Amino acid sequence: MDNHTKGFPVTQIYGFILSLVLTFAALFIALKTSLSANMIIWIIGTLAFVQAGLQLFMFMHLKDGEENGPKMVNIIYAIFLALVIVFGSIWVMSFGM
């Protein structure tokens, strides 16, 4: 019996709790540690990346269904677009081109 037939979304509750833990870990690192600003940014970025992956699997039903091909293509395309937007913005702000 899987989570959808039981009526109670156990995996979504676990995902929500893990997302809260990662968010509060980032908050603690940002406010209560004496690390350098560069190190804090890298740690928070890593935690954000982990949380994005967690949400893809827990909330976006990435592993549900039989046909994962179209889902993976859409996710790869979304990651590509996000990287182009982020790095393109950094490039424009840094070099003014």
Q: How far is CA 14 from CA 31, 46, 52, 65, in A?
A: 26, 20, 15, 20
pLDDT category, 5, cuts 50, 70, 90?
A: low
Instruction: Tell whether pTM > 0.75.
Output: no
Q: DSSP character for 63? A: T
Every domain of the chain and the residues it spans? 1-64, 65-97
Nearest-10 Cα torsion for 27, 44, 10, 64 = 160
Instruction: Select the more confidently predicted residue: 9 or 13.
Output: 13
Tens digits of per-residue pLDDT, 43-72? 999 999 899 888 887 877 666 666 666 777
